[in-house]
Structure 1
Amino acid sequence: MTPSEFETLLTSYTSGTCSQEERELVESWYTHAAEHSDMPPLDAAELAFYRQKIWNGLEQPQPLHAESHRAGRKLWLKFAAAASVLIAVFAGYQFLGHKSPKPKLTAVRTAPDILPAANKAFLVLPDGREVNISNLTEGTVAQFGHMTVRVKGKGVISYKIHPSVRAADRDIWYTIKTPAGGQWPVVELPDGTKVHLDAASSVSFPLSFAGRRTVSMTGQVFFQVVHDESRPFHVRANGIDIEDLGTDFNVKAYPDEQEVETTLVEGLVRVSKDTRKVMLVPGQQAVSRSKDARLERRQADVIGVLAWKNGVFHFDHTSIEEVMQQLARWYKVEITYRKDVSEVTFTGDLPRNLKLSRLLEMLSVTGLRFKVDGRKIEVTN
């Protein structure tokens, strides 16, 4: 069976139109491939990760009868995510098991292993001082300048204005930022909007949304905006303005990348750059490039875009330079190259909670070698 034939089978599987025999084929194949493929062997935790990711979506693949469009779309995304994992694993199995010998694991480590990113963030006060909010325990209520911060749960913080703040001080801006090697699951803004920050990212906001709701950001941030028809929510990112009317959307705007990507999951947004404007519907993406004035609209791989938020690295024929760039942010490491690797790509989903050495072992199927010295990684072919 070819990968395209298997993808067709998975499509009928996830839509609930496959036969019992076909269903048993898919499920038995996964069990066999997970335990007997020639890929670098998975330990118990990693095997559980892939199995759970698939079974969560495919345990009951009957036709969907959602109560609403929103619920139906979320169920569809869940099934599509599981199918994409099976397809990626199948493609890797075909390549490794039938087209080439098992590669040597070539991640060479000369220092203690590096752990994945953890919940770590800083609150930047108007005077430039930084407060490590990662040290605040659940239930803590702390006063920072005119802001009262409350830790509502693990990785969840909210803030409100101190009652004594004068009207003139309500436009003072604060920033919450994550370093390389850090992330922050949820920041609740005063209007109820929730913000999720990836590694090396930031969101800046005024003390109060007294008038127009506007924030700015860098890096990669997922927004769950509370609807307020009288006050649209605006996000500014590297020359782009995103106007939202009650929506879930993702913005990727790292300063060291050439593109700003806005991906819409639910609702409606208007993306503007200079005089250009595009409207997005769910499943679409607006792309702006720093080298020109264009603003393009295209269909998005929503599952892939949101993978980071769900604890997964998602790569689809991704250049090894981009793969390593993501690892540099997540593990807080520096990447160097001894030879040209511009033609090397990688496809697959990998857990973000792996130690660095284990993840590099998985990437070694590309034929590359990785030498780790402290927080420096040298890549060569």
Structure 2
Amino acid sequence: MNEDIDEILANILAKEPLTDEEKQHLQAWSNISSKNEKTKKFIQALTRQKKVLNKHQKKEIVFTRIKKEIYQKKKKRIIYWSSFAASIILLIGIFLVFQQAIFYKEEFSPTPMYASNLSFQPSAELILPDGEKRFLSREKATVVIADSNRAMRTDKQTLFVESNNLIPREPQYYTINIPLGAEYNIILPDGTKIYLNAGSSLKYPDQFIGEKREVSLIGEGYFEVASDSLHPFVVHVADMSIQVLGTSFNINAYPEEEWVKTTLVEGSVKALCGNHNFIMKPNTQVAYNKETQKVEYFPVNIQQYTSWKDGYYDFEDMPLRVLMQIFSRWYNIKLEFAKPELKELKFSGRLKRYDDLHSLFKMLEYTRDIKFIIEKDRIIIQSK
């Protein structure tokens, strides 16, 4: 029945005439509950807007219209998705989940883990050369370290590292750890800015000396490297290194992931992977398999690998296992699949990083034959 209703609502949205049988079906469905009646009226309201949506318009236009309508009714973060088939029917199905989450949110009683209030992120941790640990403020401007050689301060979720280069000395190394469910930025002495994702770690010197500017990364970071043609910037990660002069790129190198992925946004990058060397071009990616040492180089849609730093995730035909790994780190939750085949279900769409997790799960349950079960300290993904 849901598939029939989805198609009827899609026809309404596209201003396609309904048959008498479809009209009767729609009326019977809307009489079942007040929710269905509101859904029907909401769809009909969209068709009265100035700009008529054609049934064959691109899915991005449909997303924009639906998102705009919902935001005007409720100032609430929304997760919006597309199906990997990009069908209008599934788009309408997704839309139904959105509006039901808006108008009937009182039906949900999420646990703290399920709701995942990301406005209270855990603090990033700075490890000093002697092993001392200091926690970094997300909002308040604070001085972490200040002496004649260096200064480190925080402001608006960013650690600023400043160095006195007039005094020759050996650099000291610091490590910044980003916990699950958090993110943090760092600006190094040369002006390079690094966005660090949840569950990541960066080891860096308080001063760059010598021929190279070198740091080490575990996890994921987006780099905006300050230009310096005489001193290449080198990122060491797993069994490979990335060397640049001045550019923007993303590295994904979590220990639990099989592949290390380097995605170039602009400029030029040399990727050194064992015996393989690649001079990367913008909009390409080098993927290195840590177990087999296999290396792949190919063009990509960079938004799928860099959008996290701008506050959302953009993905296309992504297996559910990969998607859930991302959410596990960001929402700091444990996930378990009841059946292995569920891991390979594919999803495409865009997710705001600060959206409520319960809305995401409800949407996933609607668009696929899966359900999320809360059991103590974990969430189990099952077939319906």
TM-score (norm 1): 0.72
1:352 partnered with 2:347? no
1:134 partnered with 2:137? yes
For structure 1, which segment, 355-364 or 191-200, has the greater mean C-alpha deviation from structure 2 after superposition? Answer: 355-364
Question: What aligned pairs does 1:111-130 form with structure 2 within 5 A after superposition?
Answer: 113-116=115-118, 118=121, 120-130=123-133
The answer on whether the counterparts of 2:84 and 2:347 sit within 8 Å (CA) in structure 1 is no
Q: Which residue of the partner structure matches residue 150 of structure 1?
A: 153
1:160 partnered with 2:159? no
Q: Which residue of the partner structure matches residue 80 of structure 1?
A: none
- CA–CA distance in structure 1, aligned partners of residues 139 and 61 of structure 2: 47
CA shift in 2, pair 1:181/1:235, >3 Å: same
Distance apart, 1:176 and its partner CA: 1.0
- CA–CA distance in structure 2, aligned partners of residues 156 and 345 of structure 1: 35
The answer on whether the counterparts of 2:180 and 2:329 sit within 8 Å (CA) in structure 1 is yes
Report the AA paired with residue 366 of structure 1. Answer: R
- CA–CA distance in structure 1, aligned partners of residues 62 and 253 of structure 2: 39
Report the AA paired with residue 90 of structure 2. Answer: F
Q: Which residue of the partner structure matches residue 288 of structure 2?
A: 288
CA shift in 2, pair 1:306/1:98, >3 Å: closer
Number of residue-to-residue matches in the alignment: 317
The answer on whether the counterparts of 2:145 and 2:151 sit within 8 Å (CA) in structure 1 is yes
CA shift in 2, pair 1:347/1:43, >3 Å: farther
Q: Which residue of the partner structure matches residue 192 of structure 2?
A: 193
For structure 1, which segment, 332-341 or 232-241, has the greater mean C-alpha deviation from structure 2 after superposition? Answer: 332-341
Report the AA paired with residue 123 of structure 2. Answer: K
1:94 to 89, 92, 103: 89
Q: Which residue of the partner structure matches residue 245 of structure 2?
A: 245
RMSD of aligned C-alpha atoms? 3.7
* Secondary structure in structure 2 of the residue aligned to 1:286: strand
Tell me, which stretches of 5 or more residues in structure 2 are unaligned? 1-49, 102-106
CA shift in 2, pair 1:228/1:264, >3 Å: same
Tell me, which stretches of 5 or more residues in structure 1 are unaligned? 1-20, 51-84
1:262 partnered with 2:262? yes
CA shift in 2, pair 1:332/1:28, >3 Å: closer
- CA–CA distance in structure 2, aligned partners of residues 374 and 316 of structure 1: 32
1:218 partnered with 2:201? no
Q: Which residue of the partner structure matches residue 309 of structure 1?
A: 309
Distance apart, 1:330 and its partner CA: 0.2
Q: Deviations over 1:173-193 (max 9, x none)?
A: 111120111101x21100010
- CA–CA distance in structure 2, aligned partners of residues 22 and 346 of structure 1: 29
CA shift in 2, pair 1:160/1:293, >3 Å: same
Question: What aligned pairs does 1:21-32 form with structure 2 within 5 A after superposition?
Answer: 29=62
- CA–CA distance in structure 1, aligned partners of residues 226 and 283 of structure 2: 20
Report the AA paired with residue 298 of structure 2. Answer: R
Distance apart, 1:327 and its partner CA: 0.7
Q: Which has the higher contact order (CA 8 A, sep 6+)?
A: 1
For structure 1, which segment, 116-125 or 24-33, has the greater mean C-alpha deviation from structure 2 after superposition? Answer: 24-33
Q: Which residue of the partner structure matches residue 272 of structure 1?
A: 272
CA shift in 2, pair 1:135/1:347, >3 Å: closer
| Same amino acid, percent of matched pairs | 28
CA shift in 2, pair 1:273/1:23, >3 Å: farther
- CA–CA distance in structure 2, aligned partners of residues 148 and 32 of structure 1: 48
Report the AA paired with residue 77 of structure 2. Answer: E
Distance apart, 1:369 and its partner CA: 1.0
Q: Deviations over 1:105-143 (max 9, x none)?
A: 9988455632237373111112222211126722x2232
- Name the larger-Rg structure: 2
CA shift in 2, pair 1:126/1:102, >3 Å: closer
Q: Which residue of the partner structure matches residue 368 of structure 1?
A: 370
Q: Which residue of the partner structure matches residue 70 of structure 1?
A: none
The answer on whether the counterparts of 1:270 and 1:280 sit within 8 Å (CA) in structure 2 is yes
Report the AA paired with residue 336 of structure 2. Answer: T
CA shift in 2, pair 1:107/1:259, >3 Å: farther
